[in-house]
Structure 1
Amino acid sequence: MAQLYFSPMLLGICLLLSIALCATALYWMAPNESGPGFWMAGTWTLILGVALFIGFVLTRSPVLNVLGNAAQLAGEALFLLGIFHFMRRPLPWWLIPVSVGAMVIANIHYWLVHGNSNLLMGIYSSIAGLLPIQAIWVLFRDRSDPATRPARLLVGCSLVLYCATTLWRGALGYYDWWDQALYKQPYESFSYLLSYNFAIPALVLGFLGCSLMTTQRVLARSHRLAAQLQEQATRDPLTGVLNRRAFHQALVAEVIRSQRYGRPLCLAMFDLDRFKQLNDDLGHLGGDDALQHFSHLCQQQARRTDTFARFGGEEFVLLMPETDADQAQLLLERIRLTLAEQQFSYQDRHYRMAVSIGFAELSSNGSPDQLLRQADLALYQAKEAGRNQVRLWMAPASMAY
């Protein structure tokens, strides 16, 4: 046992145990993520194989030798299956029976015909070194999940290092077998210690990459969820445009900017004429289609710097920065005329819609709420004057703004 204590074998075993514990913790923390379950099963199976192999070193039991080598290869294969599962690729289950079966046959042949230990080590290392190649190819080639790409590259590079080290170890085993070199104990053999000095640290690095892949995917999903919640909080669910609360925030910011730099700003309010009659005629679904039609038309006509929103019901608003009253009048007339000229169709029935529009221009000392009230008053005037027209709010002569 002294040789074990003062060799890298003990450190390698401790590293494998650390990976197994971390894989277990990752599985319990993210049980719904694909991959951690395989990594947990693979690392503990690998630990079992190493423990059985140590038992073989101490007892020289053929059964422990066969089971130890088989369990180590099975653990490695399970770990690699976790990578395929994480990347949502078909699982190459054949890796387990092919690798384990080949090793068991070679191991049994070794004990039955008094084979060469160096040759057996070469066969084991060849199988272990070739196992990750398919996973490496997928890790480097996959482009479907950009969020996890940095961690996937880390895992791929780690597996490349593991393959190179393990295959080197196998080549040394074949060389010693060909050269008929005397067999050395694992803790005395350079080729055996290659695994503990390089291959196992590469596995540790690979598992770190797997943990980062999982974390990156969880964070990406959280960001998407947060974006969806933000979208739901600021958007009207029917038309997809800004809702009243989000529009008011934009209005306050734009009023502050406009007054700070002395730039013009106009606000328009829209109300679809006789919408209740249209809604009663077509039903609520038809009314919803009409609102979506009008919203889409306004977004097409508005400029990229404008802010369009639904205030509620059939009322909409349009905020027009860097726009004076004359410019706003032209834009709003274009929207009104375009709506009047286009036909709205629903279930093979055709309608023409009209809209009343009131708008106001921000005064030098005006406030957001004041601008809204003025546009609303202008809209009321447009309705009272016969609908289907654009009205600019004008301050009475007796009022000073």
Structure 2
Amino acid sequence: MPSLQLDIVTMMTLLASGHLILALMLSWHRVEDSLRTTVRIWQAAQLLKALGGAGVAFGVISENVPVRLLGNLLIFTGFACELMAYRRYVLQRTLPGLPFGLLIIGSAVVLCSFWVPELWRTQFTVAAASGLLAAFTLLNCLILNGHRRRQSNPLPMLKVLVWTNGLNSAATSVRAVSALMIDQHHVATQAPLNEAAFLLNYLLILINGMGFLLLIKEEVDSKLRELVIRDPLTGLFNRRHLDSHLELAIAEHADRQQPLSLCLLDLDNFKAVNDSYGHAAGDYILRKFAGHLRDHLRPSDLVARVGGEEFVVILHDTDADTAHQRIQTILDSFCQRQFRLGKDQRNLSFSAGIAQRAPHIRPAQLLRQADQALYASKENGRKRVSIYTGPV
């Protein structure tokens, strides 16, 4: 077998085996329902690339040009599916337009190679295919990097995938350029620079695949942690997380000698809403109220649902008077909203009690003080905000 054919067969066999291993590893990986479609698309991408690599290798050995071109098409389709999987992971919906737009371009390039003279065909195919694959991996890099930058606490594996896709795009671009620059009597795979770029490609493909597996594991673990500390109805933090956070927050603010205010909020006449309109309407109000609090609080503040219609807000670096102003603003804007309950339009309100951190105070004491202030608000007619003024 000529050196050219041997090099191509070796490279394609390595690629096919690498992608097949990644697809099989993903088959043994358990994922939750929200990630299942993303994982299956990514797995299909690896299988398509494995079949494509095997097809190219077989086409070269048998000197069957249609089989070789079909292998290239399968590889392009695999990269299109991989790009679609990353887009689904980031956007939570399948958007095939961009990936399959590039796939159509790749198909056109493969078909055009029929009209390229035999002497230039390998050089043309390697350059065009490498350029398109570089575009696919560059888009993967940009999509994942944009997602990572938008996250307040990005998963560590996202950064690994950004770098591997970026380096893979650079290495594939080197292969495309070296294919164009090489003398027509040689093949691109004989160039040392191109061979080094291919080996880097192969290594990055394996790292990228392992990174994706670890990313899915991190995502599942993160969602499980969220289930433990989140209220399933409103998406706010629950009492478990509040207790652990409040203790740390009190200690941290004491060390910095900065104020901290705890606000206990309770929806007024919420039982009447449940009795008159049903529990579904009550759940609707709770979700709307949770969203209202999120919209009017700083990212550094913490809001948790601790009971049926009771919520706690922790305002960091905020004294009681400032906290009163902020909660009063939230109350005023909430009272102006109308909620559709059955055939009625209803205005709702809440009462609030505020307690400020005192030296050596314990979390349970601070909660009791806020509860006493809340009781005062309800005793004085509801729809108001009170500050704890009792003994420290």
For normalisation by structure 1, the TM-score amounts to 0.68
Q: Give the Cα–Cα distance (whole angstroms) in 2 for the partners of residues 47 and 161 of structure 1.
A: 22
The answer to whether structure 1 residue 362 and structure 2 residue 375 are counterparts is no
Q: Does the 8 Å CA contact 1:78/1:96 hold for their aligned counterparts?
A: no
The answer to whether structure 1 residue 40 and structure 2 residue 40 are counterparts is no
Amino acid at match of 2:281: G
Shift of 1:144: 3.7
Describe the SS at the equivalent of 1:365. Answer: coil
Amino acid at match of 2:265: F
- Which residue in the other structure is 1:292 paired with? 287
CA displacement, residues 73-98 of structure 1 (integer Å, 9 cap, x when unaligned): 55445434432332232244846983
Shift of 1:355: 2.9
Determine which of 232, 240, 243 is the counterpart of 1:237.
232
Q: Does the 8 Å CA contact 2:130/2:176 hold for their aligned counterparts?
A: yes
CA displacement, residues 312-334 of structure 1 (integer Å, 9 cap, x when unaligned): 11111222344444444444455
- Which residue in the other structure is 1:175 paired with? none
Q: Give the Cα–Cα distance (whole angstroms) in 1 for the partners of residues 125 and 323 of structure 2.
A: 75
Shift of 1:276: 0.7
Describe the SS at the equivalent of 2:235. Answer: coil
Q: Give the Cα–Cα distance (whole angstroms) in 1 for the partners of residues 187 and 25 of structure 2.
A: 35
Q: Give the Cα–Cα distance (whole angstroms) in 1 for the partners of residues 313 and 290 of structure 2.
A: 11
- Which residue in the other structure is 1:264 paired with? 259
Shift of 1:25: 1.5
Q: Give the Cα–Cα distance (whole angstroms) in 2 for the partners of residues 335 and 162 of structure 1.
A: 59
The answer to whether structure 1 residue 84 and structure 2 residue 97 are counterparts is no
- Which residue in the other structure is 1:182 paired with? none
Shift of 1:246: 1.9
Give 1:207-246 correspondences, 5 Å limit: 207-246=202-241
> For residues 282 and 97 of structure 1, do their structure 2 counterparts lie closer, same or farther at Cα, with a shift above 3 Å needed?
same
For normalisation by structure 2, the TM-score amounts to 0.69
CA displacement, residues 1-50 of structure 1 (integer Å, 9 cap, x when unaligned): 9xx9xx89878765654444333322322353242212222333344345
Give 1:300-311 correspondences, 5 Å limit: 302=297, 305-311=300-306
Describe the SS at the equivalent of 1:240. Answer: coil
Q: Could you say which structure has the larger radius of gyration?
A: 1
CA displacement, residues 251-294 of structure 1 (integer Å, 9 cap, x when unaligned): 11221123334433332322223211122112222222332343
Q: Does the 8 Å CA contact 1:121/1:170 hold for their aligned counterparts?
A: no
The answer to whether structure 1 residue 151 and structure 2 residue 192 are counterparts is no
> For residues 154 and 99 of structure 1, do their structure 2 counterparts lie closer, same or farther at Cα, with a shift above 3 Å needed?
farther
Give 1:339-378 correspondences, 5 Å limit: 339-340=334-335, 342-378=337-373
- Which residue in the other structure is 2:151 paired with? none
Q: Does the 8 Å CA contact 1:74/1:100 hold for their aligned counterparts?
A: no
> For residues 85 and 340 of structure 1, do their structure 2 counterparts lie closer, same or farther at Cα, with a shift above 3 Å needed?
closer
> For residues 17 and 287 of structure 1, do their structure 2 counterparts lie closer, same or farther at Cα, with a shift above 3 Å needed?
closer
Shift of 1:378: 3.4
Superposition RMSD on alpha carbons, in Å? 4.0
CA displacement, residues 208-240 of structure 1 (integer Å, 9 cap, x when unaligned): 343344344444444544444444433333333
> For residues 80 and 371 of structure 1, do their structure 2 counterparts lie closer, same or farther at Cα, with a shift above 3 Å needed?
same
Q: Give the Cα–Cα distance (whole angstroms) in 2 for the partners of residues 261 and 44 of structure 1.
A: 63
Q: Give the Cα–Cα distance (whole angstroms) in 1 for the partners of residues 302 and 257 of structure 2.
A: 19
Q: Give the Cα–Cα distance (whole angstroms) in 2 for the partners of residues 224 and 100 of structure 1.
A: 42
- Which residue in the other structure is 1:22 paired with? 18
Shift of 1:197: 5.2
Shift of 1:205: 3.2
Describe the SS at the equivalent of 2:236. Answer: coil
- Which residue in the other structure is 2:95 paired with? none
- Which residue in the other structure is 2:184 paired with? 171
Q: Give the Cα–Cα distance (whole angstroms) in 1 for the partners of residues 347 and 383 of structure 2.
A: 12
Shift of 1:344: 3.9
Shift of 1:163: 3.9
Unaligned runs of 5+ in 2: 28-39, 85-98, 146-157
Describe the SS at the equivalent of 2:345. Answer: strand
Q: Give the Cα–Cα distance (whole angstroms) in 2 for the partners of residues 165 and 290 of structure 1.
A: 63
